[in-house]
């Protein structure tokens, strides 16, 4: 089994980010898709280890705030959709059959 340096792995990941297809990268480096995905996960974990704890906690809090905002937006959309449907039903009852849009 061929050994790849960290730099070679990072180069393959960078080529993927630059737009090369996964198949092209796998052919170029003669690796499987599974191997490429393993390299990608290794790099992700390495990057997490380099994030200072304070920065990680700040990002986590920001993530939680964004999740809460997302939940609130979903709820607002559901309410607005229900209100719109109720207005459509009311309009359908109030207008004679020939005047509906």
Would you write out the chain's pLDDT as a tens digit for each of its 101 residues? Answer: 689 999 999 999 999 999 999 999 999 999 999 999 999 999 988 887 777 878 888 989 999 999 999 999 999 999 999 999 999 999 999 987 766 55
DSSP 19-64: T--HHHHHHHHT--HHHHHHHHHHHHHHHHHHS-HHHHHHHHHHHH
Name the pTM for this structure: 0.49
Same domain, 63 and 87: yes
Residue 92 domain boundaries: 52-101
> Which one-letter DSSP state was computed for residue 52?
-
Same domain, 37 and 7: yes
End-to-end C-alpha distance for the chain, whole angstroms: 69
In whole angstroms, give the CA distance from residue 62 to residue 83.
Answer: 31
Same domain, 100 and 57: yes
Give pLDDT, residue 101. Answer: 55
In the chain, the number of structural domains is 2
Give pLDDT, residue 49. Answer: 75
């Amino acid at each position: 089994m061929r050994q790849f340096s960290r730099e070679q792995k990072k180069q393959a990941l960078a080529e993927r980010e630059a737009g090369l297809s996964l198949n092209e990268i796998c052919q170029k480096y003669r690796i499987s898709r599974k191997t490429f995905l393993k390299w990608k996960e290794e790099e992700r974990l390495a990057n997490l280890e380099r994030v200072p704890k304070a920065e990680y906690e700040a990002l986590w809090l920001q993530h939680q705030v964004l999740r809460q905002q997302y939940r609130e937006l979903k709820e607002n959309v559901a309410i607005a959709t229900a209100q719109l449907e109720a207005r459509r039903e009311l309009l359908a009852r109030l207008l004679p059959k020939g005047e509906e849009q």
